[in-house]
Amino acid sequence: MKTDNLFYRIFSTLPGLALELAGVTVANPGGYSFRAEEIKQTAFRLDGLLTPPPDDSDAPLIFLETQAQPDDDFYGRFFAEIFLYLYRTVPRPGWRALVIYPRRTTERLDPCYASLLTLPEVRRVYLEDLVEVPTPSLGIQLLQLVTATPRTVLERALRLARAVRAAGPSPPFPPAEVLDLIETILVYRLPKLTRQEIQTMLGFTHTDLKKSRFYQEVFAEGQEEGRREECIALVLRLLNRRLGRLPASETRRIQHLSLVAAEALAEALLDFQNPSDLAAWLAAQSDEIS
């Protein structure tokens, strides 16, 4: 299961979850931002770096890695990246290192770095230990979905989705983004089900989907770009995510839409429920196809 992108989305949406797992308490956890950071002039790349708000000098950097596969060289590379980054940063901030494993058996220990693992700045989290946490936070519940058994993952997802919807008018998290994460996690965990089937099982409405950042950003980009080719590329990306892989014939027809028609399709597709809706829309818009 390729989970790198999944974890990136989780921590981008809920950066405070990394602080929770790392045992860090700061005044403004919502001020953290999550990104990947390339260390220039080297072959190193930090896959996860949470940077604190600029007005909080006591808040530490969080170096975060998810390690799903055994790797004998992981700790050598990880600590080299951290210390090189700190060496090149002035003034040098406080820091924490957080490594997330699905289970203990995935970790590969190297005696060369054993003492570094005992530092108070370093914390290792094993997702298998989070499965039965008695009163989990929202972020921990999302991670529980990642490792839950196929038998229980849907039940847990339904329970979490109901709690998100019932959180009230001003919850401390973005409800649409969390619902989108729940759906995405189930796509990873239940690959035999289509995204539409998962949406139906979760009881997601079109209103839920239209509120998610993915739909809003893609639609906004399509409107702002103002160029036919870029708008069509965005429309195709959204259609493939919503309906699955499109037939080549429909892809070609969409690629020949005018800008006006492509913008109309960008809005109409938010209400599509199955591939026949797209086919019907294309048939009705034949006069717009050049």
Per-residue pLDDT tens for 249-280? 899 889 888 878 887 888 788 778 888 889 88
**Whole-model pTM?**
0.65
Q: CA separation (Å) from 242 to 138, 166, 198, 209, 257? A: 26, 26, 12, 10, 19
Helices and strands in the chain: count of H runs, count of E runs: 13, 5
pLDDT reading at 220 higher than 70: no
pLDDT reading at 290 higher than 50: no
Sign of the alpha-carbon torsion through 75, 76, 81, 86: positive
* Partners of 99 in the β-ladder: 65, 124
Where are the chain's structural domains? 4-204, 212-288
Render the burial of 249-272: b for 16+ CB within 10 Å, e for the rest. ebeebbeebebebbbbbbebbeeb
CA 246 to chain centre: 24
Percentages helix, strand, coil for the chain, rounded to the nearest 5? 55, 10, 30
Q: Average pLDDT, whole number, for the chain?
A: 84
Sign of the alpha-carbon torsion through 113, 117, 120, 124: positive
Q: First-to-last CA distance in the chain?
A: 42
